[in-house]
Amino acid sequence: MTFARVMIFSLFVLLAFTGFANILPQVQGDPPAEEEINTGSLDMAGMIALGERLFTGKGTCTLCHNNLGRAPDLLMDDLSQTLPSRLVDARYEGVAKGKNGAGAIEEYLLESMREPSKFVVAGYGKKGTNDTVSPMPVVNKAPVSLSDIEMNAITAFLQNKAGFDPTVPLPSAGEAPAADASDDGDEEDGPATDAVAAIEKFGCSTCHDLEGSEADLGPKLNGIGKRMDDAAIAKSILDPNAQIAEGFEADLMPQDFGEQMRVSELNLIVDYLKKLPE
Ligand code: HEC
Ligand code: HEC
C-alpha cells in the first residue's frame, strides 16, 4: 500500500514538473492578457474567457447563481435544455418570443440581465409576487454596473456553455473593457484596505442597501450596532444561517465568506456596519 502510494506520489510530482516545464516557456512568450484586451483585439475565445471571469468576479452572478437553490444554478444546469425552454414558456413575453437558435438565446440572456423581471423563472420570483418580480438586480446599473461589452462577454460564455456558437459582436479596437475586468487577480488577491472596498469586493451591496444600492434582498443593516455587538455582527457574516433575520429566509446569503475573507477585511466591515446610522 505505502509503496503504491509513494509511486503514485512520485508519478504525480514527475507529471507536475513535466507539465510546468512544458507550460512555462509558452506562458512567458505570451503577451499579457490585459494588453490583448486593451487593444480591443479580443477574439471569441477571449470573450468567453472574459465572460467566465466576470460571471464569478465583478458580475457577482455566483452570489446567487450557485447550488444554494435561490436562483437557477447556471454553472450546473443543462443550459442547452433550460434556455430554449424559456422561449416557448407560455408566460414568456420578451424579445425572443417565438424565435429559436443562437441569436434568440443571445437576446434572452441580455434581456435577463437588463430587465430581470421581464420573465421570472417559475418558483424564483420575489416572495408574494407570484413570479412576476425577479429578485435579480439589473446588472448594468449600480452596484454591479456591467458595461455592454462585459454583458456581451458573459452572454458569449453562457451561449458557449449551452452549446451554441456565440453570436455577440466582438469589441472593436479602442472599446476596451474596464481594466479591472481584464486583470483576473487583483480583486481576489490583495486584501481590501478600507471598508467600502471590502464591501464592494464581497458584493454585500448586491443584497443589502449599502452605499446607496437600495438592494432589498437582505435586511437593512442601518442601526445594527444598536442591536448587535461586534461578535454577533461578525458571526452573522461568517455563519449567516446560525440566526436568520426576521422576515428573511435562510440560505440566501453566501455561506463561505469565512473562507474568502481576511480577518482584517472582516474587522473593517464589522466596524463600518456598527457605525451605520439608524
Ligand atoms: C441577487 C441574486 C442574483 C444575482 C446577483 C444575479 N442573479 Fe440572475 N437570477 C436570479 C434569480 C433569482 C433568477 C430567477 C428569476 C428570474 O428569472 O429572474 C435569475 C435569473 C437569471 C437568468 C435566467 C436563467 C434561466 O434559467 O432562464 C439569467 C440568464 C441570469 N439570471 C443571469 C445572471 C447574470 C449573468 C448575473 C451576473 C451578471 C446574475 N444573473 C446575477 C438572481 C440573481
Ligand atoms: C446574495 C445576497 C446576500 C449577500 C451577497 C450578502 N448578504 Fe447579508 N444577508 C442576506 C440575507 C437574505 C440575510 C437575512 C437572512 C439571514 O439572517 O441569514 C442577510 C443577513 C445579514 C446580516 C444579519 C442582519 C440582521 O439584522 O440580523 C448581516 C450583518 C449581513 N447580512 C451582512 C452582510 C455582509 C457584510 C455581506 C458582504 C460581506 C453580506 N451580508 C452579503 C443576503 C445577502
Q: Which residue range is the domain that position 150 belongs to?
A: 41-187
86 lines ligand 1 (CB under 6 A): yes
Same domain, 65 and 164: yes
Same domain, 137 and 54: yes
Which atom of ligand 2 is found nearest the CA of 64? 1
Report the pLDDT value the prediction gives residue 42, as an integer from 0 to 100: 86
Q: Which of 152, 187, 222 is the endpoint of a domain?
A: 187
Report the pLDDT value the prediction gives residue 40, as an integer from 0 to 100: 57
Q: Please determine, for residue 187, whether its predicted confidence score (pLDDT) is greater than 90.
A: no
- Residue in 181, 172, 138, 153 with CA at minimum distance from that of residue 33: 181
Is position 1 within any domain?
no
Q: Which of 156, 187, 218 is the endpoint of a domain?
A: 187
Mean of pLDDT over the chain: 83
Interval between CA 124 and ligand 1 midpoint (Å)? 9
Residue 173 CA to residue 133 CA, distance in Å, equals 38
Whichever domain contains 210, its CATH number is: 1.10.760.10
Q: Tell me what the mean pLDDT of segment 235-251 comes to.
A: 89
Q: Quick one: cell of 206?
A: 448586491
Same domain, 108 and 243: no
pTM exceeding the 0.75 threshold for the entire prediction: no
Residue 172 CA to residue 64 CA, distance in Å, equals 32
Q: Tell me what the mean pLDDT of segment 58-73 comes to.
A: 91
192 lines ligand 2 (CB under 6 A): no
pLDDT band at 258 (very low <50, low <70, confident <90, very high): confident
Report the pLDDT value the prediction gives residue 25, as an integer from 0 to 100: 34
Is position 32 within any domain?
no
Count of structural domains within the chain: 2
121 lines ligand 1 (CB under 6 A): yes
Give yes or no for a contact between 79 and 161, defined as CB atoms under 8 angstroms apart.
Answer: yes
Report the pLDDT value the prediction gives residue 212, as an integer from 0 to 100: 86
Same domain, 139 and 214: no
Is position 22 within any domain?
no
Report the pLDDT value the prediction gives residue 179, as an integer from 0 to 100: 42
Residue 151 CA to residue 140 CA, distance in Å, equals 8
Give yes or no for a contact between 57 and 206, defined as CB atoms under 8 angstroms apart.
Answer: no
pLDDT tens figures, 139-179: 999 888 999 999 999 999 999 999 999 999 999 877 755 44
Task: Tell me how many degrees the CA angle 10-12-13 measures, rounded to the nearest 5.
Answer: 65
Of residues 20 and 269, more confidently modeled: 269
